A and B are shown apart, each in its own frame.
Chain A
């Protein structure tokens, strides 16, 4: 992941192995895999494999899932692509998680809602190839034409005679055949799994405490580590006194280590103990002295004031269609607004953790929750100067990802500590570590301008983004003179017909770890774009829904989503006094979703009444999973809209845990009614991210409709609005 600076998130996803897979197929006999689904979390038995499909002579079938499960349902939806074409029920196969092994190709990461849309055809082809090889093996054995044979429920059946052979009986012969180059994919009308709401095999494990996450791994002889780092992120360690820490019962050692985060290496002091609680107690007694080197001057208030000041600076043009400047200058009516958003934390409930053990001076074994197994293996190999094949990774269930586990800063120091001590080490971040040290989703500020002609029609729109850069801290060689595409995500891709559109970027350095976050900058840019569209609608004296529909290009998913939202929300039905509705949508490379939110005035604040979501999928693999993703995305979006966000004072993160960096709780969240648009065909859109961006603007537009208060800064206090 070098030299990616400035290429934008879409490119990052491609290069980090998050889209498109190579083609591999393996069939073998006699694989001694564990028959339990829980084998994904069984570190001892994970590696006797060939790619994607193993069939044992006793009939046990194992499908390898290349996409780590972070809650988005890939433990079902990805193996389902193979199982459908292989003609096996997911109830009767083992599913195992891959660990970045090269034989599974470059495509083992999860991000950008890419898993299903990236693998839909390639993994179906894997299943179809195996099915055809098994069918051929049976035809050869029976000496009958292959056309007379078909696959069903893990058997090949000879149609005329009714004879059947199990996959287990055929696996040996099939594995010796040459794979067909162009296996025939099933007609979607014959699908038994895809397009249906099948249960996810990890759900029973997760309803009984049996699912194993990274934090649950124990290996013999393991020591525990807790690592102290500077409260001002990235400061150099001047000196430290570990005398008291070492006296703590259970503490074994105190060692220096480094957090590799993007382009930076941050000093840390690790307290190693024979149990985790002891490591935490020892850490509290460390006395470390840090050289902040000016980092202590960072204050959110000053930084934000700087962003506001930069809003008047000319940006670097990202997109320019028509002639914005001329049309805006000549406009009959003009509208301007500045929108502001905060830094936010990822806060997966499973804190960062890792277990590492050196099996020999040349081989390390790692157990952790990660979104990027392939990249983890590569970076650990490089950092330790060992072959990639000598990094044995066990990808565990992720207790939430949301982008946080797209970097491996919580892995490298543990690998180094395990090497130094010669013992297996398990390190767990505290919640305070997680909240204070980042990485964070960056804020974006948006300076919006619109011009209207004499007929009151919008003719010119400008979206200027003022922000720090994720890439600047992730990759060497960031060029501040170029547009950072990630920070502009989809600002020029909304399908409204406004003839003169200009988007531009103003860079404001912020040297703290910043990272992708579920739907990333689409979450903040949708807020500015879609709230400003609302302001434009009111300026044009139009209903916000009709205004958007009037601008929507015909036949686009924008038009379809708005039309469906209007219907399901009964948009035209009058509301009781004090109620208001808001609409918003956002289309970006991961997919396309829209919301209508209804709110009511309550005391000084606002109460959420109803939430309607419409998501366009093209072709859908598991409708229930898609619904779950949108339901959850709305909750995450509500937190980002109304809860605190992350701020800095004197270089230190102000927030530390869930009491001062709160998440939305169950009593604050009404149900979300999700409608899926799925016209079928070859277009497959993502499900994990698209439900996030349009929620906040729909909510804020509803607040305006109910109260007349226009919200231009997130987070806002939902209990004290207008």
Chain B
């Protein structure tokens, strides 16, 4: 079994896993960070969204062999105390319902605001299209991203 060195949330981990294993399962089952979720396995729902060198990426569809030496950020790396502007806005506007997709939603929102601190509704719809929410929290997500933009 090959050994991979991963940098997740500025910490180094070494894992011995099959080279085809998606990063999602490495993060969840080998590193033990369960904030990143499994939803579809084919990059359709966005529940597994992480940042790979700052770019939102569906971790269910990228093998571990493709991410060595790149910086991975997960929901656990967004803040220590749930106080990132996006998280504050999420709480203020009570965005989550079941909450299962929200780690992925937040990772996409954080990446959007890092690139575009003052997004329009259309920018938000564009950046957040890859993240499904079955509970239907979309309008609160839009509002919360605007609110986070004010808080930054």
Contacts and interface: CB of A to CB of B under 8 A. Distances in A.
A211 B35 CA distance: 8
Nearest to B75: A209
A577 B8 CA distance: 55
Interface string B33-57: 1111111111011010000000000
A36 to B, nearest CB: 13
A349 B129 contact: no
B115 interface: no
Contact of A663 (B95, B98, B134, B139): B134
A203 B137 CA distance: 13
A401 interface: yes
A397 B28 CA distance: 17
B97 A276 contact: no
Contact of B18 (A208, A250, A398, A632): A250
A209 B103 contact: yes
Contacts of B47: 349
B34 to A, nearest CB: 4
A218 interface: yes
B141 A218 contact: no
Contacts of B128: 666-667
A666 B98 contact: no
Contacts of A657: 40-42, 44
Contact residues on A (Cβ < 8 Å of other chain), bracket:
35 or more
A207 B125 CA distance: 20
Interface stretch (A45-53, A69-77, A415-423, A560-568): A69-77
A275 B36 contact: no
Given A349-B39, A431-B39, A669 B139 contact: yes
B30 to A, nearest CB: 8
A206 interface: yes
A224 B21 CA distance: 15
Interface stretch (A124-132, A258-266, A633-641): A633-641
A278 interface: yes
B99 A205 contact: yes
Given A249-B18, A671-B139, A349 B133 contact: yes
A400 B134 contact: yes
B51 to A, nearest CB: 13
Contacts of B79: 208
Contact of A199 (B37, B45, B94, B125): B94
Nearest to A629: B97
B27 to A, nearest CB: 11
A628 B138 CA distance: 10
A400 B98 contact: yes
A669 B87 contact: no
A669 B141 CA distance: 12
Given A208-B78, A277-B18, A628 B39 contact: no
A327 interface: no
Contacts of A224: 29
Contact of A206 (B76, B99, B136, B141): B99
B25 A249 contact: no
A632 B136 contact: yes
A518 B144 CA distance: 26
Contacts of B151: none
A665 interface: yes
Given A209-B75, A210-B35, A658 B18 contact: no
Contact of B124 (A211, A250, A400, A666): A666
Nearest to A222: B29
Interface of A: 69-73, 199-200, 202-213, 215-216, 218, 224, 249-250, 275-278, 281, 347-351, 397-402, 428, 430-431, 624-625, 628-629, 631-636, 657-659, 663-667, 669-672
Given A205-B99, A208-B79, A399-B99, 6 more contacts: A71-B97, A200-B94, A400-B100, A657-B40, A658-B42, A664-B136
5 contacts: A209-B36, A209-B76, A277-B21, A278-B18, A349-B47
Closest 9 CB pairs of A and B: A209-B35, A635-B136, A206-B99, A399-B100, A71-B98, A632-B136, A71-B97, A209-B75, A667-B125
